[in-house]
Amino acid sequence: MEELKFTVGHEDAGKRIDKCVTLKLGEGYSRTYVKFLIDNGFVRVEDKRVKAHYIAREGDGVLVELPPPPEIEHVEPEDIPLNILYEDEWIIVVDKPAGMVVHPGAGNRTGTLVSALLHHCGKLPDTGNDLRPGIVHRLDKDTSGVMVAARTPRALRSLAKQFQKRAVKKRYVALVKGRVEMDNGIVEAPLARHAVDRQKMDVEHVRGKKARTVYHVVRRFSDFTLVRLELETGRMHQIRVHMKYLGHPVLGDAKYGGGRAMPRQALHAEALGFTHPDPGKFVEFTSPMPEDMRGFVERAGLGNEIKRKM
C-alpha cells in the first residue's frame, strides 16, 4: 500500500484536514475520495484517526495510506456539457475546463472527459486501455484548454504517431510567480518521478528523460508574470516543474510551490496544431485565456492591454 507523509506547514494551518490532504495528493484525487480515506481510517494525524472537519495545526504529522483502487472495468457515458471547438467523422477537438479529469482513475470514476465524449460520440476507438478510448494525450485535472480525441482507428493511429514523434504544436499561457527576468528563454532539464513523492515529477539529470520548454514573457506585474510557453517534449507536469526549476512556479500550483493566489494552477493550453488524419493538412485550434485567469490579470491592472496582446 502506498503512503504519503507530510507535516502541516504554516500556510495550511487552520484548514480542514480533508482540504489539506486533497491539496497534497493533487490532481487525480477528488474530495469525495479523500473523505472515503478519512472515514475509513486511512488518514491519521499524529497517529490518531480524525474526522474530515478536523482543523489542521502547524507541525501536525499526517500519514495518508492509499489502498489500491477498485478495478474499473469500463467507462460509462455521461451527459456532461462539452465546449466543442471542432468535430468531424475523424476527430473531435474540445476546450477542457479546469477541474475535469480526462479519464477515470483513483477517486475519479465519473465526471470525466472520456465519459462526456462517449455520450456525445457514441463510440470511440480502442487504445488498448478500456478507460482511455480515443485519448491520445491528456491535460492535468486543473489545467484548462485545447484537447483532441480520435473518433476512428485510423485517426487514432495518425494522432498517436504525431504525438510520439513530437510533430504536434502545443502552446500554453501561464501566470507564474515573481518577475521573470529574461524576455525569452529555453528550459532544458530532464524529468523523472520524484524520489520520495511519487505523485510529483522532479528535475533529475541522471535518470530523467529529455524535456525542453520554450517561454516568452508577455507582461510583467509587481509579483507575477504572464508567459506564453511552447512544449517541444510532452513530459508529465513539464511546464509546472520547469517553471519551478526556473524559480517561477505557476500561480495556484500548491504541489510545486506556486502558492494559493488562485484556486487552481494558472495554466491554459492555448493552442494545439497537428496534421488532420484525413485530408493530411495541418490544422490548428485555439482557446482564449479562461475567465479566472483573465480576471486575475485584469484585477492586477492590465485591463484592455491584455486583450490586445491575447
Q: How far apart are CA 190 and CA 238, in angstroms?
A: 9
On the CB side of 182, CA atoms within 13 Å amount to: 11
Question: Please, what is the end-to-end C-alpha distance for the chain in angstroms?
Answer: 46
User: Is 39 among the catalytic positions?
Assistant: no
Q: Is-contact 189 233, C-beta < 8 A?
A: no
* 283 close to 276: Cβ distance less than 8 angstroms: yes
- Report the sign of the C-alpha dihedral through residues 40, 44, 45, 47, in that order: positive
Out of 140, 142, 202, 253, the active site residue is 140
The string of DSSP codes covering 40-95 is: TT-EEETTEE--TTPBP-TT-EEEEEEPPPPP---PPP------EEEE-SSEEEEE
Q: Are the C-beta atoms of 39 and 52 separated by less than 8 Å?
A: yes
In 3D space, the residue among 32, 140, 98, 69 whose CA is nearest the CA of residue 21 turns out to be: 32
Q: Return the active site residues.
A: 140
